[in-house]
Structure 1
């Protein structure tokens, strides 16, 4: 008899690969059972085949009629922008100057950063997100505060101190040396401590000098299991600005490549205005793209090219990009993602969207053996979706005649109300 501490009954859904490429990649048990031993999944499958493995003393949490699936993975989001979500602006660069930079100025205050981090994590969990790649601010205190709150809750989170040594307000500017020193201090304190992971975080190339990007590349080589996160090719004006600052680079993306910042565990947000050479280079280096449809539409940045990414087999994931994004909900983000794809002549079905939000995100982060799945031996981060959470959703899903149709309705009509429960490391968080 296996050692089991918790058991959950409900419909089980997870992926073993990209459902676009493998018809057998969808694991679906309409009447399923999920078994945990502490923080770890020990088994998942059909209730009929696993019920005999249940110890007599274990009480069963019954979510029959609901979907149990891996927690969502949000690969690009800014916790210091929580309080400026839904702020009006004419575009990306004015939005940064008017709202973002002033808001971020407050995060040198450790207590203030802790309060915002706690609220931010509550919002993620309420929306079913159990892992995120998170931006802090230029202040060392902002990353330290976020890690502290996440560590207390035993969440699998990634963040990093933002690096900016030019083209930003003086009150948010570090130096190449101080940025590298603070980053290394935070790596040594937090990377791999409990479930916390560090990301080297140059905000975007125009805000860093050659010296800063060079030192960041050195840290990336010195600590190869850290993450790298930044922005690229989000907005045409931003692209032109980046090219003017780095005239020797072939493209905006090439700036990062020249400094050794393209590798596995490197996450590039947006990537709307990449050319074919850039996209091919993403695939060659194992770098990943974080697609941010909600913020791209909100800021009028452009439409992501799914066909090109698929052609070159680039690792893709999905992200809310709060506060440019207007919702913490990955379901609402899927809704916008589907529409962006359609505007580009590409059909993105529901199975693929849920894959990107779970195992696809984990694969993009090189964490697929830990999160994004319900396979035995992985971390017990999972959520429960209620297909009858609202009257409209209930009416629509009652008429669904396939898994695809039900998931599509949930993606189009769902929000935080659809998340019945969120578990991280086996502990209910919502």
Structure 2
């Protein structure tokens, strides 16, 4: 890979992240000043940056609290920023969720609640239903993360064990008006799946959540089983009058990020093709499929002619069976590299736009046509690393990890496969 190819891949990733920055996308969606108070609440990896964007662009009085991931704090003057753990929740997140409910407990019809939600909010505001504990929520979260369940399935379970998700937060704000601004990190941008939908109605049921637990063989406590089997965990359903004065806006999403990256690719002379913004599945399977498409482009000029870039987003998953640290973006890349088997002219980057792939503070990695050969020289067997779900260690050893630090936003996975012209420099 030439340095210019590596630089181009990283510039595409950086452009995707920049397109979803709250400072760019929040101001256009701010509501009019209410007769009463404006209370700002929210949760997610981008919530602190969203709160700062509100303060910088709001003319009237404002107060409130949002909770973000440790290290993602952005200083605000009037809105309190709490920090908590992700992806496994902690007591700090539980306390922040309780405080949010307290803030909205005595509102009137003249008041306005501005709810700032982004990816990560499910773990960051983990208030359990009565009868459940934080430990119950932690155990379920860990099991879901390792199960291979999709994000929509994980969030269905979370909604039915929560005192704040599944529309319950909006219901607690009644009779005030609620405006929710969402930065989407989920395939399809469905509001009920972004941070498990604390301010939107939920058509799924406890029966659905129980089916997911059985489908993936997830072991849960008797208390969790009782909540779901009894129906006590039912969420707020469509048509509930407490949600009549709510409105929801998706202000940034994976498609916007992909379009920004496409512009960077095209400015460098590569035709960009967006294959989809909501691609799901096991990361290693997605990698193998993408490798097949890349081979066809290289060998047949189908369905696209090189030089080109194949862009995609969504949320791949990893069913952790080995002793590795998981990470869907790096597992996708390692599977892609194995399937490409050193095919000349094909390079790729994949990373989570929040800077955290799986449970690691590493966004993702880059592969090159010589990724496998460099690993073999070092005594690392790519297939063994893939089987052990150990791609993070694999790319760290090669020096090909992509580390961004907190990006202050989150529009999910980003993947770019760069296919150079046959006559270009390898």
Is the radius of gyration larger for structure 1 or structure 2?
2
Please give the TM-score of this superposition, normalised by the length of structure 2. Answer: 0.29
Please give the TM-score of this superposition, normalised by the length of structure 1. Answer: 0.28
